[in-house]
Structure 1
């Protein structure tokens, strides 16, 4: 294959395959944007009619923004020398597949552009305040690894992920359907927000050694491996107890107890982290954490749907 070099000196293949572009999206992470939108829509459905067009626009825009965030991550981690061919948990389009770093960056901005168009459609049917919130969310996605002080290099990554990919995403999905946010809606969004932060915590536990060498100061680095795993376990426990608390305090549907079916996946994730020291050994633990978030969120949404139907 004839290769060329971009300005950053990376070898670029002439024809990247579709698998390369697919991996660049980090598809295993995209449920973190799908699940909150689905959950928020099911919360709104309890008292309002579903607007399918708004639901799909919100879903696609959220996936595009997260995909773009993953690409910014790929670009800036490469530019700062954090990623290399042996790095785990990355798309690897730049360091392994030779895609131009500039191409990855441009594609991320294109995804942002499409999300903006979808956002305009949402605003036309709801309120232009959605544009303000959406802009803030996209800025958070960019500055997670972009800019002079990336959020990902600080102890605030989990909090940012929980707020923007959990709380705000759920509440936006509720608002565009119901045009109102209630206290109960906020309370229902909390456990999935905690678990979105848990995905990032798991990622940082896996990457602890490499991140520490590059000067990052994540929560996992500050706590150390064992305490970070314990913290992740507590995040799981609080999420389950939160659901039980909602049933007791605000008379939430008993169908929400379907989330308990995800406990085996949560248990598996913690066990897979225990005693591990190398990033490659914790890949399955990271996947299990993401799957637990997905199962928990979908089961919660299904519980709400069943409650609505019956």
Structure 2
């Protein structure tokens, strides 16, 4: 039976900024529209965080029973290492999904956005289907697309809509940027796992692109994410604040491009998560300041 520290490590806390960043951006966009709601933002954060933890446990379970994690560089895998049984990890995944769905239901009732019930179901199915089921889309190279859609567009725009009842161009641009950074984090993770994934037939986008091209795509994703908000600079000069993030991208980009060993890529995951969080804070601050001044 895994101890508490192992369960926390299995939750992969370094990926949680990927969940909270779109909530910050979406809430700031709602504020700019004059409709920020603390309770709605908090509920959206609970949904995103528990979905992310659920995804991590679900991936641990599904990859573990397939043998994908038998030889893996990186954080502890509960099933692959034998620290916890597959059923225990599966139960943990569905338990966290249940918390996310409950918070989502409350959010839907408060916001009266009843069609978000379908989006909530889609989120859980996508979370499980990444590595679960007979034909997991993560094994087909579609994981990056789904991460962009759900951790970028859906999470950000959903946060804005459930507070403001409408969307805006700043919300959309922020959703695209935070989604691209989330994809960059996944790319870094999958570049590290190219050898083991190739052996077990897990054809992630990194595997399909090849090591060099996948590393280049990481840098490109970060670059586009930071530059994209500058489309608003004439109307909202404060968005220039996102350029302060550039120094934070230099080290992980250098690690990726220098062809460092698989083990050396592990810190890139945490660094990319912090980049996403930093982007969300700077972009949100820009929107708030634009509204205030």
TM-score by length of 2: 0.94
Structure 1 position 261, deviation (Å): 1.5
Query: In the alignment, is residue 257 of structure 1 matched against residue 240 of structure 2?
Result: yes
Higher helix proportion (structure 1 or 2): 2
Structure 1 position 40, deviation (Å): 0.2
Question: 1:222-301, aligned counterparts within 5 Å?
Answer: 222-248=208-234, 251=235, 253-276=236-259, 278-301=261-284
Structure ranking higher on relative contact order (CA contacts 8 Å, 6+ apart): 2
Alignment partner of 2:68: what SS?
Answer: coil
Query: In the alignment, is residue 305 of structure 1 matched against residue 288 of structure 2?
Result: yes
Of 69, 73, 79, which aligns to 1:94?
A: 79
Structure 1 position 139, deviation (Å): 0.8
State the structure with more CA Rg: 1
C-alpha offsets along residues 76-128 of structure 1, whole Å, 9 cap, x if unaligned? 000000113x5233442233362121011011111111222112211111221
Aligned alpha-carbon RMSD (Å): 1.7
Query: In the alignment, is residue 189 of structure 1 matched against residue 175 of structure 2?
Result: yes
C-alpha offsets along residues 166-201 of structure 1, whole Å, 9 cap, x if unaligned? 111000000011011234432332111111111111
Q: How many residues align?
A: 292
Structure 1 position 277, deviation (Å): 5.6
Aligned to 1:61: 47
Structure 1 position 297, deviation (Å): 2.0
Query: In the alignment, is residue 107 of structure 1 matched against residue 99 of structure 2?
Result: no
TM-score by length of 1: 0.89
Q: Are 1:206 and 1:279, in contact at CA under 8 Å, matched by a contact in 2?
A: yes
Question: 1:1-310, aligned counterparts within 5 Å?
Answer: 13=1, 16-84=2-70, 87-96=72-81, 98-126=83-111, 127-248=113-234, 251=235, 253-276=236-259, 278-310=261-293
Alignment partner of 1:45: what SS?
Answer: helix
Query: Deviating runs (4+, > 6 A) in structure 1?
Result: none
Alignment partner of 1:115: what SS?
Answer: helix
C-alpha offsets along residues 14-48 of structure 1, whole Å, 9 cap, x if unaligned? xx332112112110101111010111001100122
The 1:88/1:309 distance shift into structure 2, 3 A limit, reads farther
Runs of 5+ unmatched residues, structure 2:
none
1:94 and 1:156 map into 2 onto residues whose CA distance is 24
Q: Are 1:76 and 1:146, in contact at CA under 8 Å, matched by a contact in 2?
A: yes
Runs of 5+ unmatched residues, structure 1:
1-12
1:305 and 1:18 map into 2 onto residues whose CA distance is 39
1:285 and 1:176 map into 2 onto residues whose CA distance is 33
C-alpha offsets along residues 35-68 of structure 1, whole Å, 9 cap, x if unaligned? 1011100110012232211111110111101100
2:223 and 2:258 map into 1 onto residues whose CA distance is 21
C-alpha offsets along residues 147-167 of structure 1, whole Å, 9 cap, x if unaligned? 111121122211110111111
Q: Are 1:276 and 1:282, in contact at CA under 8 Å, matched by a contact in 2?
A: no
Aligned to 1:4: none
Alignment partner of 1:146: what SS?
Answer: coil
Structure 1 position 145, deviation (Å): 0.8
C-alpha offsets along residues 219-241 of structure 1, whole Å, 9 cap, x if unaligned? 21122111111111111221222
